[in-house]
Amino acid sequence: MRIIILLLALLLLPPGARAESSRLDDILQRGTLRVGLTGDYRPFSAKAPDGTMAGLDVDLAQNLAQSLGVALQIVPTAWPSLLADLRADRFDIGMGGITITLERQRAAFFSAPALRSGKTPIARCADRDKFTTLAEIDRPGVRVIVNPGGTNERFDRANLHQAEIVVFPDNTRIFDELAAGRADLMITDGVETRLQQKLHPELCAIHPDAPFDHSELGYLLPRDIAWKLYVDQWLHQMQETGAYAREAATWLE
């Protein structure tokens, strides 16, 4: 009897109240996919002087928008405000090399992992043999430069207690600071160290294939299951068809 009453109650509800509109429905109705990008994390997104962005996740964002049949709108965000901007509904999906963490997972959904990585050092090539372990890095007088508000800073503060942590606010110039000798090394995702040693020949990635920890990069999503399922299926198809690997090869190799 209780089940019958519940069914009757559902039938009496107005159509709009029977099922909440999903973020996927909102995007399709709006005709625009809003993608949050920091624009300061190569190879995923980099902001040019004219304000345009380029990178792996910029291309993938365009592909995702095309799969939906909607226009792409890039929304600038920053690492310290990433979750706040998502909660404020400034974007529908955060892209650009976001590490999947339990802290972020408590506040949002993530897509299935797009890339596997881990924290590893990068230093001037002349110093590469000095900083192969955390014990060698965590010594008085060693300067570790870091961008604020992200997983790099959290890793440093959790693991370094004697080395000096130098917070540098501009992630687009942080490797120039390292190359200029204003810090001894940086600890960041292995995928980034591989790229930066190509962009800065005087810098060398230190064991990027054997990082200090394991991490996965994914796409940050609001708590909407229909939207997450769509993004996961899109990513799955991109990976299974080789389209993701082809896009990645353009920016990572």
| CA–CA gap between residue 196 and residue 175 (Å, rounded) | 8
Asked if 91 and 49 count as a contact pair (C-beta separation under 8 A), the reply is no
pLDDT at 55 over 90: yes
Find the mean pLDDT for residues 16-24.
69
Average pLDDT in the chain: 91
Spatial neighbors of 121 by CB under 8 A, at least 6 apart, are 131, 132, 137, 185, 186, 187, 193, 205, 206, 207
Q: Say if residue 41's pLDDT is above 50.
A: yes
Tell me the C-alpha distance between 74 and 91, whole Å.
8
- Token representation of residue 44: 């995923």
| Contact between residue 165 and residue 146 where contact means Cβ atoms under 8 Å apart | yes
- Top mean-pLDDT range of 30-34, 50-54, 76-80: 30-34
% of the chain residues with pLDDT over 70: 92
Q: 108 versus 117: which is more confidently predicted?
A: 108
Helical segments of the chain, H only:
2-12, 15-18, 23-30, 56-68, 82-87, 102-107, 134-137, 151-159, 174-179, 190-199, 225-240, 243-252
Task: Examine the pLDDT at 140 and tell me if it is beyond 90.
Answer: yes
- CA-CA-CA-CA torsion sign (103, 106, 110, 114): positive
Q: State residue 253's pLDDT score.
A: 66
Question: Is 134's pLDDT higher than 70?
Answer: yes
Per-residue pLDDT for 4 more than 50? no
DSSP 8-state assignment for residue 138:
S
Considering the four listed CATH numbers 3.90.550.10, 3.40.190.10, 3.40.50.300, 3.40.50.150, the one that applies to the domain covering 119-205 is 3.40.190.10
Name the percent of the chain lying above pLDDT 90.
84
Domain 20-116+215-252 matches domain 119-205 at the CATH topology level: yes
If we measure between CA atoms, which residue out of 27, 211, 56 comes closest to residue 119? 211
**Residue 7 clears pLDDT 80, i.e. is over it:** no
Which pLDDT score, from 0 to 100, does residue 167 have?
Answer: 97
Cis-peptide, bond into residue 43, ω within 30° of zero: yes
Residue 172 pLDDT level (bands cut at 50, 70, 90): confident
Q: Is the pLDDT of residue 35 over 90?
A: yes
pLDDT higher at 220 or 20: 220
pLDDT of residue 5: 36
Q: Which of 10-19, 43-52, 124-133, 192-201 has the lowest mean pLDDT?
A: 10-19
- Residue 83 is predicted with a pLDDT of 96
Q: Where are the domains of the chain?
A: 20-116+215-252, 119-205
Instruction: State which fold the 20-116+215-252 domain adopts.
Output: D-Maltodextrin-Binding Protein; domain 2 (3.40.190)
Separation of alpha carbons 11 and 15, rounded Å: 9
DSSP 90-109: S-SEEEEEEEP-HHHHHHSE
